[in-house]
Amino acid sequence: RICFAFAVIIQISSAFVQTKYNAPCKIDAVKHLCKSRALLHNPAQTFNRKLRLAAEPNSKLDAVSRVLDAYSLAVKKPSLLIGDSSVFLVFAAIGRMNHASTEGSLLLTAAPYILSWFFFAPILNGYTDANSRSQAVTSLILPWAVSIPSAVLLRGLIQGYLPATSFWVVSLVTTAILLASWRSAYFQVSAASSTVDKFVEAILEDDD
């Protein structure tokens, strides 16, 4: 008991020095020590706790695995990747024509948007399979809402100044229209192609 009391005092003192007036930390330290002592006097509870900890998945590894799976899924859809890139190239071309800009290249103008999109879209379910045309469009909302503002910020950092509010609005609205139109058309074509493939497969099976 004396050793336990000293351990409590040392733990509370170190927590006080580290956090300075952070009372919850001291209370948590005491609770942790008391809980540890209780576990020592209850072997069955200690064993059950170890089993529970061993059964819990490693959350960090699971998160990394999910991110890698998301990027792997996107890579397996080259048509979508090319189409999405084309959307931002078209957006950049429209902007350059409206401003009669001759500085840099079209690819450099679109680069912040392409990089931001391919960084965020896969992990925000921008490349998951859609079961309807509306789902193909609505699945873009979160990736669009995150990647486009990030792209505008990246563009501002590259140029050394943040663009005006009107540019933010134009970027958001124009990219939303272009992305929604492209993904909607892609879904329609894919659905039609799938229907034709199933029809041909059914005919071949009947012939057999």
Q: b vs e for 66-80, b when ≥16 Cβ sit within 10 Å of the residue's Cβ? A: eeeebeeebeeeeeb
Q: How far is it, in rounded angstroms, from Cα 31 to Cα 20?
A: 18
pLDDT at residue 40, rounded to an integer: 43
pLDDT by residue for the chain (208 residues), tens only, comes to 444 444 444 454 455 445 444 444 444 544 454 455 544 455 555 545 554 555 555 666 777 888 888 899 899 999 999 999 999 999 999 998 887 776 778 999 999 999 999 999 999 999 999 899 999 999 999 999 999 999 999 999 998 998 999 999 999 999 999 999 999 999 999 988 877 767 677 777 766 5
pLDDT at residue 117, rounded to an integer: 97
pLDDT at residue 57, rounded to an integer: 55
Tokens 């996107």 belong to residue: 74
User: According to DSSP H, which parts of 41-140 are helical?
Assistant: 43-55, 59-75, 78-98, 106-120, 133-138
Task: Quote the tokens at residue 43.
Answer: 């072997």
| Helix, strand, or coil (residue 7) | helix
Q: How far is it, in rounded angstroms, from Cα 150 to Cα 28?
A: 39
User: Dihedral (C-alpha) 45, 50, 53, 54: value to the nearest 10 degrees?
Assistant: -140
Amino acid at 33: L
pLDDT at residue 94, rounded to an integer: 93
| Helix, strand, or coil (residue 153) | helix
pLDDT at residue 183, rounded to an integer: 96
pLDDT at residue 137, rounded to an integer: 94
Tokens 């192609």 belong to residue: 193
Q: How far is it, in rounded angstroms, from Cα 6 to Cα 11?
A: 8
pLDDT at residue 45, rounded to an integer: 54
CB atoms under 10 Å from CB of 62, counted, come to 10
Q: How far is it, in rounded angstroms, from Cα 69 to Cα 63?
A: 10
CB atoms under 10 Å from CB of 140, counted, come to 24
Domain boundaries, the chain: 2-56, 61-207
